[in-house]
Chain A
Amino acid sequence: GAVVSQHPSRVICKSGTSVKIECRSLDFQATTMFWYRQFPKQSLMLMATSNEGSKATYEQGVEKDKFLINHASLTLSTLTVTSAHPEDSSFYICSAKGQVALREQYFGPGTRLTVT
């Protein structure tokens, strides 16, 4: 149980375009989802927290107009990188929490974004 998927696993896009990443909880309802960014050989940096049906809360220094997060249902959250630039290239990982074990996060497999 507690499986989280991400799609796509890899994406290459051209500078200036937008790309959407999906995060789904497959076998539980995720009241809260988190989006992380990870640079090579570095730790995870929390970008934002999203609760179903409400606006995402962004961490300090994260541009909310650039990284649009939508949590429209209890099983789906999306991250849209708008007007992507090469410096946005990174590994993006989502995680989800259910309604019972509130201190446990279940992680997706990650999405490798490359902006050319």
Chain B
Amino acid sequence: AQSVTQLDSQVPVFEEAPVELRCNYSSSVSVYLFWYVQYPNQGLQLLLKYLSGSTLVKGINGFEAEFNKSQTSFHLRKPSVHISDTAEYFCALDSSYKLIFGSGTRLLVRP
């Protein structure tokens, strides 16, 4: 069965520090992976996606992620975070055109 695991429920970080949000997946078929961000009481906004090709994917707002097939990971990174990056981040796996979501990681950026 396909699944997505986000081990960190919350990641506190100081402003301008780098951050990595971890995502691991389990899948026996072709892998299509996504990172979404959700601000309070809002829907989801796509940050970036991996469908094929280069394993280093760049997204919006300075985020990037690297697809690692051997580690079955798709970790999200940002070299310098802002207060405005405080939000919930979801990793998702496309399974037969449906999305399977991880449990989410709350990024809390402190001044």
Listed in ascending order, the chain A residues whose CB lies under 8 Å from chain B are 4, 6, 32, 34, 42-44, 46, 49, 91, 93, 95, 97, 102-110, 112
Contacts and interface: CB of A to CB of B under 8 A. Distances in A.
A103 B43 contact: no
Interface of B: 32, 36, 41-46, 49, 51, 90, 94, 97-99, 101-104
Contacts of B51: 103
Contacts of A112: 41
Nearest to B36: A107
12 contacts: A4-B43, A32-B97, A34-B99, A43-B102, A46-B99, A95-B99, A103-B51, A103-B94, A104-B49, A107-B44, A107-B45, A110-B43
Given A43-B102, A110-B41, A112-B41, A97 B97 contact: yes
Nearest to A91: B41
Contact of B43 (A32, A42, A102, A109): A109
B43 A93 contact: yes
A107 B104 contact: no
Contacts of B103: 42-43
B28 to A, nearest CB: 18
Given A42-B103, A43-B104, A107 B98 contact: no
A91 B41 CA distance: 8
Nearest to A108: B43
Contacts of B43: 4, 6, 93, 107-110
A37 B5 CA distance: 19
B94 A49 contact: no
Nearest to B106: A41
Given A49-B98, A97-B97, A102-B97, A44 B90 contact: yes
